[in-house]
Amino acid sequence: MKKHHINLTVNGKELELLVSSNHTLAQVLRKDLKLTGLKQGCEVGDCGSCTVLLDGSPVNSCLVLAVQAQGREVTTIEGLAQGNEMHPVQEAMVEHGGIQCGFCSPGMILSAKALLDKKPDAGREEIKRALSGNLCRCTGYQKILEAVEDAGRRMGRS
């Protein structure tokens, strides 16, 4: 398979990578960069576990080819916490019990962050729409919604 040089920013770090043209962003992040926080539950864009932010917007990284990330800014779950200090969405998910098995959590948290970055005072319906592409089989979503609402309040204050 043909290889390509791409330049991209991952979690604030500028990188130059050599990637196969058929490799997805999910594969490159997980295998080449060892950013294993994103999870793969279906590999066809149904479950949302592999969500990362591309220029601040959530994408299923299993549906994005690595070459499409050329010149763009990628944020993965590893890029949220500052050292030991978790992002408000992460903190709220921990405190409200929004995490059970944890497999959907990284993607869920990133989808929530993308929304709250733009609109920390987003209402419940807006939050639901923003999370509608992230499947969770454990929680019934209620504690996730409570967590995201609370995170919005925390982010609005700061």
Partner 1 sequence: MGQKFKVIGSRAPRVDAPDKATGRAVFMDDLEFKDELVGVILQSPYAHARILDIDASAAKALPGVKAVLTGRDLPEIKYGVSPARYDEELLARDKVRYVGDEVACLAAVDLETALEALELIKVEYEPLPYVLTVEDALAEDAPVIHDAFPGNICAEVHQEFGDVAQGFAQSDFIRTDNMLNKRQDGAFIEPHRAVAVYDLSGGLTLYSSTQVPHYVQRTVSMVTGLDVGKVRVIKPYVGGGFGPKAEATPLDMCAAFLSIKTGLPVRMSYTREQVFLHCRARHQFNHTMKVGFKKDGAIMALDHQCTLEGGAYSSFGIATVYYAGSLLGAPYLLPNMKYDGLRIYTNKPACGAQRGHGGVIARALFEQQLDLVAEELGMDPVELRLKNIMEAGDVSCNDLAMSSLGMKECIEAVANGSDWQEKRGKLPPGQGIGMASGFFVSGAGYPIYRSETYHCTVTIKVQEDGGTVKVMTGAAEIGQGSDTAMAMIAAEAIGIPLESVRIVSGDTDHGVDLGAYSSRTTLMTGHATKQAGENVKDKVLTALAEELNVEKDRLDIVEGKVRIQGDGVDIKAVRQKYLKEHRGWEGMPRGEELTFSEAARVAYLKFGTIVGTGKYKPPVLGGKFKGAAVGTSPAYGCSAQVAQVEVDLETGQVRVLNITDAHDCGKAINLTSVEGQMEGSVSMGLGECMFEEVKFDDKGRVLNPSLGEYHIPTVMDMPRMNCIVVESNEPNGPFGAKEVGEGAIMPTIPAILNAVRDATGAAVDELPLTPERVLKAIMDKDKE
Whole-number minimum distance, CB 55 to partner 1, in Å? 20
Least CB distance to partner 1 at residue 45 (A): 8
- Identify which of residues 57 and 142 has a Cβ nearer to partner 1 in the complex: 142
- Min. distance of Cβ 15 from partner 1 in angstroms? 18
CA distances from 120 to 53, 88, 132 (A): 17, 11, 18
If the CB atoms of residues 64 and 110 are measured against partner 1, the closer one turns out to be 110
Choice between 19 and 141, CB closer to partner 1? 141
Quickly list DSSP for 107-152: HHHHHHHHHHHH-TT--HHHHHHHHTTS--SSS-SHHHHHHHHHHH
Question: Residue 137, by phi and psi: left (phi above 0), alpha (psi -120 to 50) or beta?
Answer: alpha
Can you list the alpha helix ranges (DSSP code H) found in 3-134?
Answer: 25-27, 88-96, 105-118, 124-131
Instruction: Give the Cα separation of 101 and 137 in Å (integer).
Output: 9
CB-nearer residue toward partner 1: 15 or 138: 138
Nearest-approach distance from CB 4 to partner 1, in angstroms: 18
Binding stretches for partner 1 (CB under 8 A):
30, 35-47, 49, 76-78, 80-81, 86, 90-91, 93-97, 99-106, 109, 128-129, 131-145
